[in-house]
Structure 1
Amino acid sequence: MPRFVMTYLHMVEALNYRVGRLAMWSLFALMGVLAWGAIARAGFSPQIWTDEMAQFLLMGYFMLGGAYSLQMGSAVRMDLLYDRWSDKTKAAVDCITIFTLIVYLGVLLWGGIESTQFALEYGERRRGLWQPYMAPIKIIMCIGILLMILQCSAFLIRDIATVRGIKIAERDTNAL
């Protein structure tokens, strides 16, 4: 494989690993917001912002951790026939499915960018009592989709190499 392709592959995997590990820490912020909301409801005045903030934090966790989850192999896979195939056959089938996923994510990103532009241009707010601005969570959503596209492209590179008979060593996640 050309050096620039390997550099791209390792940079994408390192980026998604670090963003995913950082996203895991957002669960503590989510727990803090939910705990504050529960304490406030039980002890004094209920806070109107805690439920929506918890939803936003969970969305950020989910979107920013998606590429990391794929990278770590946490995605669910239908193994009806897949386990019986050779590595080259698996890689060839994965090339098709990953390409399809990249197209889907591309359309999703396009819609997300248009929605984000609308939110920024018109100051879109969520309906409800708190009415937070929607642009920040939409920006995070677009970043998460872009990270997924990058991770899928890295998978596609690995699968094309496997189909061609080239073995690309897995990167040690501890070194990232």
Structure 2
Amino acid sequence: MRVIRAYVRIIDAVNLRLGRVVMYGIFVMVAVLLWSSVSKTFFLPSLWTLETAQFAMVAYYMLGGPYSLQLGSNVRMDLFYHNWSDRRKAWFDAVTVLFLLFYLGVLLYGGLGSTAYSLGYWGDQPLAFFAGLATGAEEIGRVERSPTAWRPVMWPIKVVMCTGVLLMLLQALSEFFKDIARLRGVEL
């Protein structure tokens, strides 16, 4: 129980701090879009603004998701849920979070494959590719670029996306542990 309590405390602290920092990322996106409007009106249009705003929104959304899950501010169909007892809510959440964990695991595996592809790996074993990168047995190939006129490399935003999915997976596991503890009458 001590290990689970430490896990919940660490994951919640990481996602709380990261979420509070990332929530200011909306201002980055607004600044980029404001510059886009100004440059299109008074100067030559900038090629980089739209994709930079999209990348900022992806980072905002993916890295802020675990914080949202932790606060319970995620969207849910609340037809019956609000009338249930805390114990029944914990039971229902503990069961449904298992589906979320499965979905996030599949999403993370696909994201790792896409990230490996963006680093020039053409095979079908992305985990082996990343292990090979860490040991020096693999090397980065031809990097994927966006097909737009600006042509930024894609791997940094894919790494951010994988990081966000991993943090969401860890936070969902933390929520699962909290629900099980509530069912047992223990607070974490």
Cα distance in structure 1, aligned partners of 2:84 and 2:39? 56
Cα distance in structure 1, aligned partners of 2:77 and 2:23? 26
Q: Is 2:151 aligned against 1:152?
A: no
- 1:63-82 to 2 correspondence within 5 Å? 63-82=62-81
TM-score (structure 2 length as normaliser):
0.86
Q: CA deviation at 1:26?
A: 1.5
Q: Deviations over 1:101-133 (max 9, x none)?
A: 010000000000010001012311111111111
Cα distance in structure 2, aligned partners of 1:167 and 1:58? 35
Q: Is 2:144 aligned against 1:124?
A: yes
Cα distance in structure 2, aligned partners of 1:66 and 1:150? 11
Cα distance in structure 2, aligned partners of 1:88 and 1:39? 54
Q: Is 2:161 aligned against 1:141?
A: yes
Cα distance in structure 1, aligned partners of 2:78 and 2:20? 28
Q: Which residue of 2 aligns with 1:174?
A: none
State the secondary structure of the residue aligned to 1:42. helix
Q: Which residue of 2 aligns with 1:172?
A: none
Cα distance in structure 2, aligned partners of 1:51 and 1:79? 36
Q: Which residue of 2 aligns with 1:51?
A: 50
TM-score (structure 1 length as normaliser):
0.91
Q: Deviations over 1:75-105 (max 9, x none)?
A: 1122222122222211111111101101000
Q: Is 2:104 aligned against 1:105?
A: yes
Cα distance in structure 1, aligned partners of 2:34 and 2:9? 39
Q: CA deviation at 1:167?
A: 2.7
Which runs of 5 or more residues in structure 1 are unaligned?
Answer: 169-176
Cα distance in structure 2, aligned partners of 1:16 and 1:70? 10
Q: Which residue of 2 aligns with 1:173?
A: none
